[in-house]
Amino acid sequence: MAAQKTDDTAAPGTAPGAAPDVAPGVDLTGRTAVVTGALGRLGPVWAGALLGAGARVVGLDLSADVPAPLDAALDRHGHDRFLLLKADVTERADLAAALAECLSTFGPPTVLVNNAGIDQPPSADGESWRFGDIPGEVSAGILDVNALGTLRACQVFGTDMAERGHGSIVNIGSLYAGMAPDPRLYEHLAQDPPFLKPPAYGMSKAGVCALSRYLAALWGRRGVRVNTLSPGGVLGGQDRRFRELFGARTPMGRMADTTELTGPLLFLASDLSGYVTGTELLVDGGYSCW
């Protein structure tokens, strides 16, 4: 199984200047947060924001190569508040071992960001199939990491939170949990077969939203809130034509910068959203309103 990197319906971009890690008024000092897929494209965004808000962060990934943005966040906020553990979300034993290490090093987790995921960003260089030819193992791998991996992490870390009576779980969804990818966004890619966004990706993210509602109902009276944060298109190396087409399809006329995701994440993770559970927060520049 490949390293479980951040979910990418896209990543960084258009907003000028360096934005802060943390939204004003958010204080997670003394709390411990767990981020799965912590070293991928969006994992460092979530981890950096949580560190900036004062939390201790346990990052789970299959890799050990800390990317530059996260390393910079650690320089700002303290390497001693970040613990990186090797863990595969397809293996419940890995998650149980990570929970034990978290408890012994930083204490009980009160925030869980389920971010580990497999995606296929638009590219003329990647492997593609016609719909009828998509290998079963490709779809199964996406579902196992994105949907079942989120379920396993909730079973391990979320159950611990429910037993202790406090916690916030933020499951990372996607715009494509509720909308189909527009094939016209990919028609300019010179590829045969034509590029297709994997159908299992949207299936997995719809399942994540359903899981958030299920657990919100199950654990609401046990002090655990569960929500989905669903980014739309996020800048991250896409070709110019794709960015233009996506922007034209979006009321705000552009894709998101990763810095624009931190406020929504910290809102859901913190007490600012103390009466919010079972919901999906779309951060999509209005894409879904058309």
Classify the phi-psi angles of 61: left when phi > 0, otherwise alpha if psi is within -120 to 50, otherwise beta.
beta
Q: What is the DSSP track for the chain?
A: -----B--S----SS-SPPPSS-TT---TT-EEEEETTTSSSHHHHHHHHHHTT-EEEEEES-----HHHHHHHHHH-GGGEEEEE--TT-HHHHHHHHHHHHHHT-S--EEEE-B-------SSS----GGG--HHHHHHHHIIIIIHHHHHIIIIIHHHHHHT-EEEEEE--GGGTS---GGGGTTS--SSPP---HHHHHHHHHHHHHHHHHHHHHGGGTEEEEEEEE--B-SS--HHHHHHHHHTSTTSSPBPGGGGHHHHHHHHSGGGTT--S-EEEESTTGGG-
**Has 214 been annotated as catalytic?**
no
Instruction: Please tell me which residue in 176, 186, 201, 287 is annotated as part of the active site.
Output: 201
- Cβ contact 207:176 at 8 Å: no
The Cα–Cα gap between 264 and 155 comes to 24
CA-based nearest residue to 41, from 196, 202, 231, 179: 231
Residues classed as catalytic: 201
